[in-house]
Amino acid sequence: MAPTPAPSKAGAAPRLLSVEVLQRYDAKKRKRIQDALKQIFQGDASYVKAHAAAGQPLSDNVVGPITLSFITRFWLYYNMEPAPNVSEASVDALLHFADRLAAHKEWRPDVLSVEFGRWIDGQPDRAMLYPIRLRLDEVKLPPVLVRYHAKVSAQLANVGDKVGQTYWYGLTAEDLKTITSKRQFSAATVKALKALVEPDTVIAHTDFEEEVKAVLADTTQKPGPLLPLLKEHALKTDHGIGVTDETLAAIAARPVLPAPLAALLQPMVGMQYPHQQLFARALQDRLTVGIGSCQPAVSPARRAPPPSGRMSDEDMAALIEAVSYGQDADPDLGKRLRNLRDANYCGPADPEFALDGATASASPGYKERRTLGDLYTRYGDLFDQVSRKTPAYDKSAPITLAADLCGCSDDQRTQVFRFLPFWQGGAAQRIDFSLVSRVNYYGVTFDDSGTLIMANGGGRVSELFSGQDDRQLDFVTAARRHRVKVDWVIQRSAWGPWSALGVEERAHGFALLSKNIESLLNASMTDLASRARPWLSFGTTPVPVRGDGVTLYFDGYPRDAASVGQFETFLGDLRKRLDQRHFRLNIMMRRAELNKGIFQYSKLAGMVRGDETLAPWWMTERRHQMSQREQMRKLPNLLVLFDEPSGYNKRLLRREIESAGTSMDQLRLLNRIVPVINFDGSGWQQLQEDLVYFNQNFGGVGFWPGRTPANAAPARRAVAGVKDCGESQSVDDCIQDFFRDPPGQASSTDSTVSKLVCEYRWPLRFAFDLLLIILVVLAIAYWRSCQARTLLRKHYVAPLAVALLAVLVLVALLLFDPYLAPASDGYLIPAVLVLCLIGMYCYFRAKFKERNERP
């Protein structure tokens, strides 16, 4: 969109702008002008073409006609109609605009967008809005942007999704077989070409094209794509061209998806992604690695010869041939693929262009991304037809977690999240709980009334997980046994029906949803081990509840102001409910949705901003620190589903955060963000680099299960010591070596006693309480009953054994019980010595008393 050029009544400098005037500027100002144009027009096709022209006329610091043309374009676009003369004042406005844009990068998506310009054109006060946009007025522009976002209609994503359903995206072996079976030319076309086959007969060169057109006249097939292929596979002589059965067989066998791409995508079979965009980006990244071009987002370790994923020269030639000839031939795309393959060097992407989730068109690597994007678009429909899966909910196949004697999860500065999609139930999933902080059960959604339902036909959540269905919650018991927290993911991606509701209906739905989430988490467990907990603790501990927290995953939530405001109200109510019962809150989103709608950085910063009021004068320093830790515990984690390539996107995310908000807000966001990755089991070096970066820059890491347990290799225990992930070939080893403090300290190095005590801490606590009660009863009997005293003296070994066993259990609990060990830190040895002294005193006192009583 470009508004009609409009004169400015603002006074312009008397000297009109020309090439001669521009060239009188000093070198510093000429460079500023070209840098400003680069910042404003990055991504514009005409600018990219001019920027890459011979002589680099837009970056040579020698301003000329091309630079003047873009200054004029800026002046015409950002002024009211009709356009004024372009003068030196236009240059000043350009430089001021670029400076303000650099200082307020959060405005960039709006002020440079076509939609914002069209919106201004339709406003009655457009004469006031154009100068505000041109000056990027720091006082007047923010209210204008609020008006703009309030008027913009809801931007609904995931249009094809249905309420009450959840999906995963990926390719199965059957899907790939279906895609590769598709042929470019129909059976009817091949049958029509059969008329060209005449033994020992050739068709004259001059008549060949007309003959092909004639036999295809009764079909819908155009002859253009077939002619080169027929000539390539036919018999050619000086007299003409002979079409044979072998020629037609080659035509009939020509697949829609080239064989090299099918082979390249084979390692992705079985991978599962929670959103179509994540699946598409993974496919594109696979193409990038396979072509082996100079993609700056791909690390040098991944640009290597086969078998790292790079296609052989023969496969690359076959791909280029398939793209350049046949149905929907695109010779230009084939040429660009060849150029990418032959590229020898690629500079790093310019961070100034790394905005809006992608590197801009003028940066190194843009042409490559455009070429790879065109290649993906060419075959994208094939994948879209088969990639979306709707798994059925099966109560008979619950999530089951199994582990060897691995001990308990310990307290680390950074957390490790793992997801448990309901459709991966059935086969037991082996997991090293000592390397996990929280598990997230994925599968619960809600309808328009706010009622929680199990996705894909599972029914109401309130009617599940009890009675004979309590096996569905075995994973909760297993995780809690190893001191791992359990969160429930509340997911929804279909927002069309929700947006059609009235304001009051949506408010009522959110209110009921908040209440239902609290009820879900606070519902008591019904299995025998959980119901026995109060008995084992002699009434000091209640029956455990179903969850420790909730993860909200509202993908594609509407971005209009009314919907955003209602979400904030809902979130405030939910946080109050969760805080009262000490539940945790996580908010999950795709990286592509960051800084949009409810996921704007300013709103996310507000979510993770704690109470900054000063402590009262009467509060001690220790109590104040405990209060601050409790506040930090209540702040939500921000789980970000990363798309590929993760090596590039992790740095891009940090740059985006560092350009938004205050320094304290930036620090809070970085500390609460948890990247969630989908590891494919092959890029070990990239996984290692990602874990190191996440550990140093973010608050944790999450793992979406790429494959079902039946397709995955058996889990291997992490071993002590630090080694490269490519050598260990184990995700658990990578976590302990590059995401723990200290690195390389495996649970396998812990003593068997410590693991036993931690995993069986509740039976041991019960045993200690029981032994303590027995000792108290024996002590009372000893002092109050002569017969009991005589009996105990005669069989003194039994009470001593009970006392010794009680001391051993107590010491074990104080050393290795994760809840008691911190309390005993520094006091255990003195406490044991005091108990020994008391025991010795009682023993010798009894002996002396007995001696004195003798005649």
**Where does 752-827 have alpha helices with state H?**
752-759, 761-784, 786-794, 797-816, 821-824
Tell me the helices (H) and strands (E) count for the chain, helix number first: 38, 18
The tens digit of pLDDT for each residue in 442-486 reads 999 999 999 999 998 888 998 888 777 778 888 998 888 888 999
> CB of 738 within 8 A of CB of 688?
yes
The tens digit of pLDDT for each residue in 673-706 reads 999 999 988 888 889 999 999 999 999 999 999 7
Q: CA angle, corner 546, sides to 508 and 543, nearest 5? A: 120
The least confident of 23-27, 150-154, 291-295, 543-547 is: 150-154
Query: How far is the C-alpha of 208 from the C-alpha of 240, rounded, in Å?
Result: 8
Helix (H) / strand (E) element for 421: namely strand 415-421
Q: Is 241 exposed, middle or buried (0-12, 13-18, 19+ CB in 10 A)?
A: buried
Which long-range CB contacts under 8 A does 366-373 form with residues at least 24 apart? Answer: 366/48, 367/336, 368/288, 368/293, 368/294, 368/295, 368/340, 368/343, 369/295, 371/333, 371/336, 371/337, 371/340, 372/284, 372/287, 372/288, 372/291, 372/293, 372/295, 372/340, 373/284
| Type of residue found at 677 | I
Query: How far is the C-alpha of 301 from the C-alpha of 677, rounded, in Å?
Result: 19
pLDDT band at 139 (very low <50, low <70, confident <90, very high): confident
CB atoms near residue 144 (< 10 Å): 21
> CB of 780 within 8 A of CB of 808?
no
Which long-range CB contacts under 8 A does 650-655 form with residues at least 24 apart? Answer: 650/675, 650/690, 650/693, 650/694, 650/697, 651/693, 652/354, 652/357, 653/591, 653/594, 654/697, 655/351, 655/354
User: Who's near 826: CB < 8 A, 6+ residues apart?
Assistant: none
User: Who's near 200: CB < 8 A, 6+ residues apart?
Assistant: none
Q: CB-hemisphere CA count at 13 Å for 729?
A: 5
CB neighbour burial string for 497-522, b if at least 16 within 10 angstroms, e if fewer:
ebbeeeeeebeebbeebbebbbebbe
**Residue 456 region by backbone torsions, left for phi larger than 0, else alpha for psi between -120 and 50, else beta:** left
**Per-residue pLDDT, 59:** 67
* Of 685, 696, 796, 730, nearest in space to 308 by CA: 685
3-state secondary structure of 165: coil
> CB of 437 within 8 A of CB of 703?
no
CA-to-CA dists, residue 584 to 636, 671, 676, angstroms = 7, 16, 18
CB atoms near residue 705 (< 10 Å): 18
In this model, does residue 153 exceed pLDDT 80? no
* Of 439, 414, 673, 468, nearest in space to 546 by CA: 439
The tens digit of pLDDT for each residue in 14-37 reads 456 676 777 778 778 888 888 888
User: Who's near 301: CB < 8 A, 6+ residues apart?
Assistant: 685, 686
- As assigned by CATH, the class of the 401-749 domain is alpha beta
Query: How far is the C-alpha of 722 from the C-alpha of 39, rounded, in Å?
Result: 44
pLDDT band at 656 (very low <50, low <70, confident <90, very high): confident
How many percent of the chain have pLDDT more than 70? Answer: 79
Query: How far is the C-alpha of 486 from the C-alpha of 537, rounded, in Å?
Result: 22
Strands (DSSP E) contained in 93-213 are 168-169
Query: How far is the C-alpha of 547 from the C-alpha of 569, rounded, in Å?
Result: 23
Give me the residue spans of the domains in the chain: 19-151, 183-252, 262-389, 401-749, 752-852
Mean pLDDT of 262-276: 91
What's the longest Cα–Cα distance across the chain?
141
Tell me the average pLDDT of the chain.
80
Query: How far is the C-alpha of 590 from the C-alpha of 704, rounded, in Å?
Result: 13
In this model, does residue 487 exceed pLDDT 80? yes
Query: How far is the C-alpha of 88 from the C-alpha of 16, rounded, in Å?
Result: 7
Distance of CA 436 to the CA centre of its chain: 18
Query: How far is the C-alpha of 220 from the C-alpha of 233, rounded, in Å?
Result: 22
User: Who's near 433: CB < 8 A, 6+ residues apart?
Assistant: 403, 406, 407, 408, 409, 479, 482, 483, 484
| Type of residue found at 773 | I
pLDDT band at 823 (very low <50, low <70, confident <90, very high): low
In this model, does residue 200 exceed pLDDT 50? yes
| Type of residue found at 506 | R
The tens digit of pLDDT for each residue in 603-623 reads 999 898 876 565 566 666 666
> CB of 812 within 8 A of CB of 767?
no
The tens digit of pLDDT for each residue in 69-78 reads 888 888 777 7
| Structure tokens that stand for 591 in this block | 């990286």
In this model, does residue 853 exceed pLDDT 60? yes
User: Who's near 695: CB < 8 A, 6+ residues apart?
Assistant: 414, 701, 738, 739
> CB of 457 within 8 A of CB of 393?
yes
User: Who's near 808: CB < 8 A, 6+ residues apart?
Assistant: none
